[in-house]
Chain A
Amino acid sequence: MRSSRHHGSTRRRGAAALLFACAALSVVVGSTLGGCTDPVRDAEIEALGPEEPGVPPNPEHRPGQPCLHCHSQGGPASNKPFAIAGTVYETDQPGSNGADGIFVQFVDSAGGGPREIPQTGPSGNFYVPLQDWPDLKYPVRVGLYEDLNGPPTVIMKSLINREGSCNFCHRPNLADPTDEEIDDSRSSAGQIFLRSGS
């Protein structure tokens, strides 16, 4: 009797352990399949807000925003991943127009660069598709050229160390910032621009 009771309780414990293992496995698998995202990045993307009315997703959309938040592995636009991307404005004034037709020339620490030198569109946006610069080696230096045969209009004073979204550091200048936005400006290099003034 003692022996059969013992076997019964062992079986019950075994069944319970199996149930527990299955439950744990289903939680792990479920969370892996259903929630394979970065909650910090998700929140940052959410904070960017919806598309501008009348501007569908295209190379000119969302100027001034950190492009690689979406255009990189794990992002909602991961089917069009970028190596580097950003926005160039005509001036440093808030509300300035984007600078169209500017060449953005990069040189990485191995002396390499993108297969094609990117050029800004009407919104000032430019981007380097990841397949055009798969072996990018940070840090990177960058200059803006109105004419590739002439001298650079602007050379960035510091290095790009590891962030592919230029607008992550170069946030657009604001006309009437709140106190919080003024405090946040300590960690922004300001918008990328060709010339000071209006």
Chain B
Amino acid sequence: MRTRARRLFVVALALAFAPAAAASCSLRTESGEFGDLPDRASFVDNNVSLFMEVRCGGLDCHGQVGRPLRIYGQTGLRLKARDDGLRDNSPTTDEERTENYRSVVGLEPEALSECFESKGEKIATFQLLKKPLGIENDGIRHKGGPVLRPTQSDPGWQCLYGWVSDNVDAAECERASKITP
């Protein structure tokens, strides 16, 4: 009897907490429950999206629909296909850049918010910054290897770190998006 009563109590407890748990799963965006996040305009207007399209969004990297960090762009994955199924080489659309923004802020919104609000002080486990450094540059494992260096002289790092710490320089992002032969 005692065991049965205990089981009933556990079930009742679970039922009582279920609505509360479900309610706390609702996600709010931008200045919602994660605190402040960098906005879409800062991502697009300062060429952060452009930089990520060129440097991260290759079809053999983050230009793949199954990737959590999924980047669309002119030379990579397209959001919409051409009617004839041939390659669409037109410039990256606003819609694609909005999707890029959503993908980036949706990775680890809590960590991004902490980083943004602390002006780049809190980045200890923030994968958006740690992964592109790779283990080689004091980051974490990145299948694509170390693609950024945490230095003043790497415009890619300056672009990404600048954006997540509310201090982005559009010129650095543009420089980082150039591929030289």
Residues of A within 8 A of B (CB): 92, 107, 138-139, 141, 155, 157-163, 168-169, 173-174, 177, 181-183, 185-190
* Cβ–Cβ < 8 Å partners of A159 in chain B: 58, 179
- Say whether A158 contacts B58, CB under 8 Å: yes
A67 CB to closest chain B CB, in angstroms? 14
Chain B facing A: main interface SS = loop
Contact of A158 among B54, B86, B147 (CB under 8 A): B54
Chain A facing B: main interface SS = loop
* Known pairs A160-B60, A161-B58, A189-B87 / 9 extra A-B pairs, C-beta < 8 Å: A107-B181, A138-B144, A157-B179, A160-B58, A183-B81, A185-B85, A186-B88, A187-B63, A189-B75
Asked if B76 is at the interface of the complex by the 8 Å CB criterion, the answer is yes
- Say whether B144 contacts A162, CB under 8 Å: yes
- In the bound complex, CA of A139 to CA of B79 (Å): 24
- Which residue in chain A gives the minimum CB-CB distance to B145? A138
Using a CB-CB cutoff of 8 Å, which residues 44-74 of chain B contact chain A?
54, 58-61, 63-65
Going nearest first, the 4 A-B pairs with the smallest beta carbon separation are A190-B87, A163-B60, A177-B85, A169-B59
A186 and B80 in contact, given A159-B179, A181-B85 (Cβ under 8 angstroms): yes
- Which residue in chain B gives the minimum CB-CB distance to A164? B60
Asked if B28 is at the interface of the complex by the 8 Å CB criterion, the answer is no
* Cβ–Cβ < 8 Å partners of B88 in chain A: 186
Asked if B83 is at the interface of the complex by the 8 Å CB criterion, the answer is yes
B98 CB to closest chain A CB, in angstroms? 16
Interface size class of B (residues with CB under 8 A): 20 to 34
B92 CB to closest chain A CB, in angstroms? 12
Residues of B within 8 A of A (CB): 54, 58-61, 63-65, 75-88, 143-145, 147, 179, 181
* Cβ–Cβ < 8 Å partners of B75 in chain A: 157-158, 189
- Say whether B81 contacts A186, CB under 8 Å: yes
A161 and B60 in contact, given A138-B144, A185-B85 (Cβ under 8 angstroms): yes
B61 CB to closest chain A CB, in angstroms? 5
A155 and B60 in contact, given A161-B144, A173-B86 (Cβ under 8 angstroms): no
* Cβ–Cβ < 8 Å partners of A160 in chain B: 58, 60
* Cβ–Cβ < 8 Å partners of A92 in chain B: 86-87
- Which residue in chain A gives the minimum CB-CB distance to B61? A161
- Which residue in chain B gives the minimum CB-CB distance to A156? B75
* Cβ–Cβ < 8 Å partners of B77 in chain A: 186-187
- Say whether A185 contacts B86, CB under 8 Å: yes
- In the bound complex, CA of A186 to CA of B64 (Å): 9
* Cβ–Cβ < 8 Å partners of B80 in chain A: 186
* Cβ–Cβ < 8 Å partners of B63 in chain A: 187
A121 CB to closest chain B CB, in angstroms? 24
- Say whether B179 contacts A158, CB under 8 Å: yes
Contact of B78 among A138, A161, A186 (CB under 8 A): A186
* Cβ–Cβ < 8 Å partners of A188 in chain B: 59, 87
- In the bound complex, CA of A159 to CA of B144 (Å): 12
- In the bound complex, CA of A45 to CA of B75 (Å): 26
A182 and B85 in contact, given A138-B145, A163-B60, A168-B60 (Cβ under 8 angstroms): yes
* Cβ–Cβ < 8 Å partners of A138 in chain B: 144-145
B105 CB to closest chain A CB, in angstroms? 22
* Cβ–Cβ < 8 Å partners of B76 in chain A: 158
- Say whether A185 contacts B179, CB under 8 Å: no
Contact of A190 among B64, B79, B83, B86 (CB under 8 A): B86
- Say whether A187 contacts B64, CB under 8 Å: yes
- Say whether A162 contacts B61, CB under 8 Å: yes
